[in-house]
C-alpha cells in the first residue's frame, strides 16, 4: 500500500534492524524500545489492524505466533514475554499496518495504562 510505513519497511524501501524475514512476514526491532527486547512482527501484505482479520488469515496468524515463539526461544526470553497488538485510536495504534509487539527481558506491569 502506498504511503504505509510498514509496507515500505517490508519492501526494503525503508531500512530496519531486521531480526527475521520470510515470504510472509518480517520481524524487526522497534525504533523506540520499551523493554530490553522489543521487536515487531508484521505481515508483508497490508492489513490495517487486527480489526481487519478474517478466518482466511488463520494460517498467517499461526505462522506469526509460531515465529514469535521460535524467535523468543532463540533470544533466550526464558522469563516470558508479552505479545501485544494495538487496534485503533483507543488501542494506541500509531501505524495502521498490523503489527505484533513482542516485549521481553523485564517484568511487565498489568493492567496496561
Residue ranges binding Zn ion (CB under 5 A): 1, 4, 6-7, 46, 97
**104 within 8 A of 36, measured Cβ to Cβ:** yes
Q: Which residues pair with 102 in a beta bridge?
A: 39, 83
With CA atoms as reference, report the closest residue to 100 among 2, 20, 23: 20
Residue 46 is a catalytic residue: no
Q: Does 111 sit behind a cis peptide bond, omega within 30 degrees of 0 on the bond before it?
A: yes
Q: How far apart are CB 69 and Zn ion at their closest, in Å?
A: 24
112 binds ligand AMP, rule: CB under 6 A: no
Question: What spatial distance separates the first Cα and last Cα of the chain, rounded to whole Å?
Answer: 31
Q: How far apart are CB 61 and ligand AMP at their closest, in Å?
A: 17
Residue nearest to Zn ion (CB): 4
Binding residue for ligand AMP, selected from 94, 110, 112, 113, defined by CB under 6 A: 94
Size of the site for ligand AMP (CB under 6 A): 10
Residue 4 contact among Zn ion, ligand AMP, none, beta carbon within 5 to 8 Å by kind: Zn ion
Taking residue 36's Cβ as centre, other Cβ atoms within 10 Å add up to: 11
Is the CB of 3 or the CB of 90 nearer to Zn ion?
3
Q: Which three cell numbers stand for residue 58?
A: 488463520
Taking residue 45's Cβ as centre, other Cβ atoms within 10 Å add up to: 14
Catalytic positions, written as ranges: 99
Q: Where along the sequence are the contacts to ligand AMP (CB under 6 A)?
A: 5, 16, 30-32, 86, 92-95
Amino acid at each position: 500500500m502506498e504511503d504505509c510505513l510498514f509496507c515500505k519497511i517490508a519492501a526494503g524501501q525503508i531500512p530496519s534492524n531486521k531480526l527475521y524475514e520470510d515470504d510472509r512476514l518480517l520481524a524487526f526491532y522497534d525504533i523506540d524500545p520499551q523493554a530490553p527486547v522489543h521487536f515487531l512482527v508484521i505481515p508483508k501484505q497490508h492489513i490495517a489492524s487486527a480489526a481487519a482479520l478474517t478466518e482466511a488469515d488463520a494460517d498467517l496468524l499461526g505462522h506469526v505466533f509460531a515465529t514469535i515463539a521460535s524467535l523468543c526461544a532463540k533470544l533466550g526470553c526464558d522469563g516470558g514475554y508479552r505479545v501485544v497488538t494495538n487496534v485503533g485510536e483507543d488501542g494506541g495504534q500509531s501505524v495502521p499496518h498490523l503489527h505484533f509487539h513482542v516485549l521481553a527481558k523485564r517484568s511487565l506491569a498489568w493492567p496496561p495504562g
